[in-house]
Structure 1
Amino acid sequence: MKTNLKKLSNQVIVLTGASSGIGLVTARMAAKKGAKLVLASRSEDALRQLCDEINDNGGEAIYVVADVSQQADVQRVSQAAQQRFGGFDTWINNAGVSIYGKLEQVPIEDMRKLFEINFWGLVYGSMEAANHLKGKGGAIINLGSILSDVTAILQTIYSASKHAVKGFTDGLRMELEMDGAPISVTLIQPAAIDTPYPLHAKNYMEREAKHAPPAYAPDTVARAIIHCCSTPERSVVVGGGGRAFIGMENWTPGLLDKFMEKAFSKQEKADYPPRPISENGLDRAAGSLQERGNYPGHTRETSFYTAAVTAGSPAIRTAAVVGAGVALAAWLSWPAVKKNKNGKAA
């Protein structure tokens, strides 16, 4: 059955993890484009402020305080959407949290808790959405990561959860297609995004966590999500740098391992001590209407690659993929460039 998605201005959108970062930017962007919103997170004060902001500016939004690791909370989000708006058209599973540190330092309890949020919360949301949308059609958008394909050293459990998200999302998509359900199922795979993500993570490292370069603005992800609300897409990688990492995993995995071990592991650490470990978004609500994080470098406000692959033209999409491949080849060859005694390329 063909999937016909509504125009964004005619949609009701459910969005988890709405109180900071990607979720916050997406909520504001969707509201400006006329969508009605059902916003969920654990941070009630932030949600209330966000809904007041949207409603005062002529939009329409309600909120539900919910911990997505609890299936009953996710069901309440669905019920609120149906009671207020008669249902929903798009469900965005965005809530998530990370852990930094070597595996031997991370308690198994924390690993399980992360999976309850990142994986099981997404499963609960996806199944609620699928059950509601089977008869009417709509979109399920799951936030994976480039770490759905690549493993970031010192973020192994987060990477494992995003691998699981990809496997679940692909399987759900195939089953719904097999049943002829008019539902678009999309996996969004952001690269490093300048949000409070490192600050909300539980950090077992000796220094504060930060993103390794390149980092992109959360707006780049929000635009991709908004696109997929009304345009069926199988998956969208956000950031050409992220596509390059995936290419390395596919083509030169051994080289990527060495890069992770020797360079990336250092790039993930800031040059100042960490916050108290009790200050984290794994154990408690951390949303505070903060869009950006602590990335110290130049944040890329746009992604030509992602804009191209969501442009709709097959020729443009092909050019973007080829361009990413050329960039990857140049990147891979860069360490081998010989330098003369003055330090310049020979």
Structure 2
Amino acid sequence: MRDEGQVVVITGASSGIGRATARRYASRGARLVLASRSREALETVAAECRERGAQVSVVPTDVTQQGEVRALAASAVAEFGRIDVWVGNAGVFSYGSFESTPERVFRQVVETNLMGQVHGARAVLPYFRRQGSGTLVLVGSLYSRVSARDISPYIASKWGLLGFAEVLRQELRASRGIRVRIILPATIDTPIYQHAANVTGRRVHPLPPASSPERVARAIVRAPRRRRFTTFVGLSQRSVIPLHRAAPPLYDGLTSLLKRRVELRGHAPLSDGTVFEPPANASSATGGWRSPMRPIVALGIAAGALALAAVKGQRKPSA
């Protein structure tokens, strides 16, 4: 196994993509340092990884706190002597218009998704420099390249993350042993939607089709060995990027319609989700969004919404 003995730090390791990535690295013989805000949740994931034969260290870490992230890196080196791969994966989500989203929620999403990655890079790059090698893998989003209404702090953080990653790539060109990679997943079947802050009053449903977190985990594990800087996961949804560039009014109209008809349906209480506090227990890698009927029902609603948009467009009087 090509990852045998490598030291891998994973933030956001207690659920979703992070949990799937930890299990995959564990099966490949890596030594793991797992980080998230909840020790109890981390211990659950660590037990899964130890069952796969991995050596695992658990370091509760809030990535919005630079000192805690520096301590995470120092702990990894103290435990295993080096860091070969740093997976920056911690992230939170929020639903609501910009004006209805509380300032503290907006700031916390950006602090977690963007500044948490900045803190990770500041913490690990000195060790990579000392070793002369290492890979920083940042988990962005398809929303690093396109936008959508009602998730403004998430969009701001993910667009900022892609720009930050590109600058690091440019600045590290002369450091041949140090690599930066960014993963851009589309809709992934994780609990992040159930965990999202929500001030819309509507229940959140991810836009189908949802890919498995294991697909993202595979991309993360492969990234250090590939020359490719950017890896997309969820190619069908990647197809919206040209539409976003070439026809912004059409893109805006269709995504707004899908947001109302597919993503935000039914009633839900207002909630901060896990933006400020982690769940009491470990969450699963998946969120239950790939059951057989969910994509069929959601795609049927989406098709109806698009047909309605087309009919409305045909009814518009010509100028």
Report the Cα offset of residue 60 of structure 1.
Answer: 1.0
Matched, 1:225 2:220: yes
Amino acid corresponding to residue 115 of structure 1 in structure 2: V
Amino acid corresponding to residue 168 of structure 1 in structure 2: F
The correspondence of residues 265-304 of structure 1 with structure 2, limited to 5 A, is 265-271=260-266, 273-275=267-269, 277-278=271-272, 280-286=273-279, 288-295=282-289, 298=292
Decide whether the 8 Å contact of 1:16 with 1:41 is kept in 2: yes
Partner Cα distance (1:46, 1:180) in 2: 36
Matched, 1:210 2:205: yes
Partner Cα distance (2:285, 2:4) in 1: 23
Matched, 1:138 2:134: yes
The correspondence of residues 189-208 of structure 1 with structure 2, limited to 5 A, is 189-208=184-203
Amino acid corresponding to residue 283 of structure 1 in structure 2: F
| Cross-structure match for 1:58 | 53
Amino acid corresponding to residue 242 of structure 2 in structure 1: G
Partner Cα distance (2:67, 2:292) in 1: 41
Partner Cα distance (1:283, 1:103) in 2: 18
**Do the aligned partners of residues 262 and 297 (structure 1) sit closer, same or farther apart at CA in structure 2, a change above 3 Å counting?**
farther
| Cross-structure match for 2:314 | none
Amino acid corresponding to residue 171 of structure 2 in structure 1: E
Decide whether the 8 Å contact of 1:184 with 1:233 is kept in 2: no
Report the Cα offset of residue 101 of structure 1.
Answer: 0.7
Report the Cα offset of residue 157 of structure 1.
Answer: 1.3
| Cross-structure match for 1:239 | 234
Q: Secondary structure at the match of 1:9?
A: coil
Partner Cα distance (2:30, 2:290) in 1: 34
Q: Secondary structure at the match of 1:186?
A: strand
Percent of pairs with identical residues: 35
Decide whether the 8 Å contact of 1:215 with 1:298 is kept in 2: no
Count of aligned positions: 298
Q: Pairwise CA RMSD of aligned residues? A: 2.3
Report the Cα offset of residue 180 of structure 1.
Answer: 2.8
Partner Cα distance (1:299, 1:119) in 2: 35
Partner Cα distance (2:9, 2:165) in 1: 17
Report the Cα offset of residue 156 of structure 1.
Answer: 1.6
Residue-by-residue CA offset, 1:34-82 (whole Å, 9 max, x unaligned)? 1111000001111112212322332111110000000011011101111
Decide whether the 8 Å contact of 1:7 with 1:230 is kept in 2: no
Amino acid corresponding to residue 21 of structure 1 in structure 2: G
Report the Cα offset of residue 276 of structure 1.
Answer: 5.3
Partner Cα distance (1:69, 1:241) in 2: 33
Q: Secondary structure at the match of 1:111?
A: helix
Partner Cα distance (1:48, 1:169) in 2: 30
| Cross-structure match for 1:305 | none
**Gaps (5+ residues) in structure 1?**
1-5, 301-331, 338-346
**Do the aligned partners of residues 27 and 296 (structure 1) sit closer, same or farther apart at CA in structure 2, a change above 3 Å counting?**
closer
Residue-by-residue CA offset, 1:128-185 (whole Å, 9 max, x unaligned)? 22221124211110011000011121112101110000000000110011x4342111
Alignment match of 1:165 (pick from 161, 165, 168): 161
**Do the aligned partners of residues 166 and 99 (structure 1) sit closer, same or farther apart at CA in structure 2, a change above 3 Å counting?**
same
Decide whether the 8 Å contact of 2:23 with 2:48 is kept in 1: no
**Do the aligned partners of residues 181 and 128 (structure 1) sit closer, same or farther apart at CA in structure 2, a change above 3 Å counting?**
farther
| Cross-structure match for 1:306 | none
Q: Secondary structure at the match of 1:208?
A: strand
The correspondence of residues 57-206 of structure 1 with structure 2, limited to 5 A, is 57-134=52-129, 135-177=131-173, 179-206=174-201
**Gaps (5+ residues) in structure 2?**
295-305, 312-319
Partner Cα distance (1:245, 1:237) in 2: 13
